[in-house]
């Protein structure tokens, strides 16, 4: 029976609302299959296309996955809780730990590529280098439970990090921030800017997600004690894979 969420809401949206409520209540558990298009069409007395649109909404929102001939299955993935403040504490990377365990205990697979590139105009401004100056670019693709969850690229001034372990795929314990500390430019202050938008095709392909689902864009700038920008990290997250959590004292 369709929910009474308002007479003006499209039928496919009302069906999607009912299915989302059933998932949230536990009526459908992770791994369970939802009724197929024909069954939903009969249940709600709508066209099959309308039922298909309802299931598409759930797929876009990251609640189900669909495979041809197999119907829609409730996703078993548990979102990552990204602790926006604690994860960057010096006690974390300064003790030789990766930032990732501050967010998630599950093991992560990270594909890392290191290169030198011409600084994009906005990155050049933030790092206070000339546009098209060469900078170190560390590109990463994060995959959790066989699911891509984030793409990231860090830009660092080449004259600062050339010849250091930051130019290697494996930067060693504590990561790039620990290596910056070793050369006298330990991050002392961070600024993060967060926004949401629809992905471009390359981002959607890299994250294995539909073009209709928004991504979370986080741009973090790390500054040393002299407030010199030493890293610009641009992150693209699957919005269905993350919860952004901020905890701090008043």
pLDDT tens-digit profile of 197-230? Answer: 999 999 999 999 999 999 999 999 999 999 999 9
Looking at the fold, whether 193 and 91 belong to one and the same domain comes out as: yes
6 within domain boundaries: no
CA distance 152 to 166: 15
Say how many domains are in the chain.
Answer: 2
Let me know whether 68 and 91 are in one domain.
no
Percent of the chain with pLDDT over 70: 97
Domain shared by 31 and 145, yes or no: no
Let me know whether 63 and 181 are in one domain.
Answer: no
| 3 is a domain residue | no
Residue 51 domain boundaries = 11-74
pTM: 0.87
Considering the domain architecture, whether residues 56 and 88 belong to the same structural domain is answered as no
Specify the pLDDT at position 7.
Answer: 59
109 and 203 together in one domain: yes
Is 207 found in the same domain as 94? yes
For 165-199, write each residue's pLDDT tens digit: 999 999 999 999 999 999 999 999 999 999 999 99
């Amino acid at each position: 029976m369709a929910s009474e969420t308002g007479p003006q809401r499209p039928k496919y949206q009302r069906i999607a609302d009912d299915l989302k409520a059933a998932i949230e209540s536990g009526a459908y558990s992770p791994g369970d299959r939802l009724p197929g298009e024909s069954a939903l069409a009969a249940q709600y007395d709508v066209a099959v296309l309308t039922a298909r649109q309802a299931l598409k909404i759930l797929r876009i929102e990251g609640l189900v996955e669909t495979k041809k001939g197999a119907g829609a299955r409730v996703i078993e993935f548990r979102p990552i809780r990204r602790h926006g403040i604690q994860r960057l504490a010096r006690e974390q990377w300064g003790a030789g730990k990766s930032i990732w365990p501050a967010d998630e205990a599950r093991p992560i697979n990270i594909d890392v590529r290191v290169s030198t590139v011409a600084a994009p105009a906005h990155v050049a401004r933030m790092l206070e280098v000339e546009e098209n100056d060469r900078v170190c670019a560390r590109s990463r693709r994060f995959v959790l439970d066989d699911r891509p969850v984030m793409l990231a690229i860090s830009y660092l001034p080449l004259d600062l990090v050339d010849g250091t372990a930051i130019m290697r795929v494996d930067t060693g314990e504590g990561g790039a921030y620990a290596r910056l500390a070793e050369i006298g430019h330990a991050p002392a202050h961070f600024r993060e800017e967060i926004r949401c938008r629809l992905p471009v095709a390359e981002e959607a392909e890299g994250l294995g997600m539909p073009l209709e689902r928004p991504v979370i864009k986080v741009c973090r700038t790390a500054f040393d004690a002299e407030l010199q920008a030493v890293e610009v990290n641009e992150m693209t997250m699957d919005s269905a894979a993350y919860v952004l959590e901020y905890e701090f004292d008043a």
